[in-house]
Amino acid sequence: MGRNVSVRLCAVALAAASLALIPLSGPTGAATSKVSCTKETSKKPSIKGNTAKVTATLGGCVNLAPSGTNSSTINTKTLTGTSKTTWAGGKGTTTQSVKYKTLTTLGKCPKGDVRLAVTATTTGGTLAAATAIPKGSVGKSSICENAKTMIGTLEPGTKATF
């Protein structure tokens, strides 16, 4: 595979992953959040050295805002990064620390794509987003990345849940 494939896969995954999080619990074992989105699309990443930056959009969201935008940065060597989602309608922001892993199976991703598992921890937030997605929430998601276009989307049949 080599470094170029790793950089490419992780760059797109960053934005997608930070948007598609399934919380396991709040910081004290509280009930999971009900914020979810049915659409996510990332743009082609900007890569300089070991750093990739990517932006993405969310749609079909419920229980916080109808949509959001995300800016993410990833270290392509460690496969870790940070993300910040800005929610529509002045609902605030969500910041997260994210980790990525390339999966060996496609799941429901199209042939030729790469499937990525993402784990994210909410590190902060503002306004309504801070209440809806509390600090300490841990989430997971599955992302399909097109190997040619480097655009990432949610795995078919899944939701982006924070």
Mean pLDDT for back-to-back runs of 10 residues, the chain (162 residues): 45 42 36 73 91 91 91 92 95 94 94 89 95 88 88 89 78
pTM (2 decimals)?
Answer: 0.79
Domain count, the chain: 1
**What is the per-residue pLDDT for 30?**
40
CA nearest 74: which of 157, 134, 145, 137? 145
**What is the per-residue pLDDT for 33?**
52
Residues 6+ positions from 58 with CB-CB distance below 8 Å: 19, 37, 39, 40, 67, 68, 69, 70, 85, 160
**What is the per-residue pLDDT for 134?**
93
Domain with 63 in it: 2-161
